[in-house]
C-alpha cells in the first residue's frame, strides 16, 4: 500500500504514523504475522551456515521486514519495492532499529516484471552468497492493487522461490466478493467512515495543541485515503485468493486473522 499511495517523498514518513488509524486490527495482524514467521522458520534447517533468507514484496518503509529481522536474528532479507524513496526510508528505519546494513538488500523492481524472479535469485547470490531457495516470503498491503490474474502470477512466482515447507505470509486488504456482495459493500462503507473519523479526530487534536500545519496535513491525508479506497484500490476476495494459492501449488493455505477488510493469509508449500 505504501509505495502506491505515498507517491510523494515528503509523505512517506506519514505511513507508519497513520497506518493504525487506517487499517482496523493492523497491529494485531502485524503481531500475528511475526509470530507465524518465527514459528515456521524454526523448522527450517536446510542452510548449512545457519542463516535464513527472506523476501518482502512491497517492502515500503520496512514496517514488517525490520520487525521480522529484529525478532529473528539469523534472518537476512531482500526488500523489493518499485520506489527508491521507500528504500531510503527503509534504510533510515533499519538504522534506528539497529539492524546492520549487511543483513538486508534493496531490490528496486516491479513485482510483475518478467525478470523479477531471476533478479531476486541473483540478488540473494550477490548480497548473501547463497543460491538456495528463499526460506520465507512476506507481503504487507501491496497486492490488493493488482488484478486477480496479476495476483495469481505473483503467487506462482512466490511458489517457485520457496523450498518445500517454505511459507508465504500475505497481510492485506480483502473483500467478501466470493462470499457476500452485501458484506463487501457494507464493510467497505464502514471502513471508509471509520478511518475518516480517526483522521478527523487526529487532526482536531493536533489543531487544539496548536499544530495547525499537522492538522491540515491530516485532513488532506483523509481526502487522499478516501479517494484511494474508492477509486484506486482493487481488492479481491479472500476465498478466491486462497484458491489461487492452491492453484499455484501451495499445499496448505488459510486465514488465521480477519478484521473487516484487513486480513492475513498463511500459505505453505
Cell 466470493: give the residue. Answer: 178
Residue 153 located in a structural domain: yes
Q: What are phi and psi of 138, to 5 degrees?
A: -125, 160
Residue 183 lies in a domain: no
Total domain count, the chain: 1
Structural domain of residue 165, as residue ranges?
2-6+25-175+236-268
**Helix 14-22 vs helix 26-42: crossing angle, to nearest 10:** 100
pLDDT of 75 reads 94
Alpha helices in 100-171 (DSSP H): 116-128, 148-161
Convert the pLDDT of each residue in 181-217 to its tens digit.
999 999 999 999 999 999 999 999 999 999 999 899 8
Residue 18 lies in a domain: no
Residue 65: inside a domain, yes or no? yes
* Residue 3 confidence (pLDDT): 47
The answer to whether residue 48 is domain-embedded is yes
Q: Where residue 106 sits, what CATH number does that domain have?
A: 3.40.50.150
Q: Is residue 190 part of a domain?
A: no
| Closest C-alpha to 137, from 6, 44, 61 | 44
CA dist., res. 147 & res. 234, Å (int): 7
- φ/ψ of residue 162, rounded to 5: -100, 155
Residues of the chain with pLDDT under 70: 1-14, 43-48
118, part of any domain? yes
Residue 65: the pLDDT is 96
In a domain? residue 187: no
DSSP, res 232: I
Amino acid at each position: 500500500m505504501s509505495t502506491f499511495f505515498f507517491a510523494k517523498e515528503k509523505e512517506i514518513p506519514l505511513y507508519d504514523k497513520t497506518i493504525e488509524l487506517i487499517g482496523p486490527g493492523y497491529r494485531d495482524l502485524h503481531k500475528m504475522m511475526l509470530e507465524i514467521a518465527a514459528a515456521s522458520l524454526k523448522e527450517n534447517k536446510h542452510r548449512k551456515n545457519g542463516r535464513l533468507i527472506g523476501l518482502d514484496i512491497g517492502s515500503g518503509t520496512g514496517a514488517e521486514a525490520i520487525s521480522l529481522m529484529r525478532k529473528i536474528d539469523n534472518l537476512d532479507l531482500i526488500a523489493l519495492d518499485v520506489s527508491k524513496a521507500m528504500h531510503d526510508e527503509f534504510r533510515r528505519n533499519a538504522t534506528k532499529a539497529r539492524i546492520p546494513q549487511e543483513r538486508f538488500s534493496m531490490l528496486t523492481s516491479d513485482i510483475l516484471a518478467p525478470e523479477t524472479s531471476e533478479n531476486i535469485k541473483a540478488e540473494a547470490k550477490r548480497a548473501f552468497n547463497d543460491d538456495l531457495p528463499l526460506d520465507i516470503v512476506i507481503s504487507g498491503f501491496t497486492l490488493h492493487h493488482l488484478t486477480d490474474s496479476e495476483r495469481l502470477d505473483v503467487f506462482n512466482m512466490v511458489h517457485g522461490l520457496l523450498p518445500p515447507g517454505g511459507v508465504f505470509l500475505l497481510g492485506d486488504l480483502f473483500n467478501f466478493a466470493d462470499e457476500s456482495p452485501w458484506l463487501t459493500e457494507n464493510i467497505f462503507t464502514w471502513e471508509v467512515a471509520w478511518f475518516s473519523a480517526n483522521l478527523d479526530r487526529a487532526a482536531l487534536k493536533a489543531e487544539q495543541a496548536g499544530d495547525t500545519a499537522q492538522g491540515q496535513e491530516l485532513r488532506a491525508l483523509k481526502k487522499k485515503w478516501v479517494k484511494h479506497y474508492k477509486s484506486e484500490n482493487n481488492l479481491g476476495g479472500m476465498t478466491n485468493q486462497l484458491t489461487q494459492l492452491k492453484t499455484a501449488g501451495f499445499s496448505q493455505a488459510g486465514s488465521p486473522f480477519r478484521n473487516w477488510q484487513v486480513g492475513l493469509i498463511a500459505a505453505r508449500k
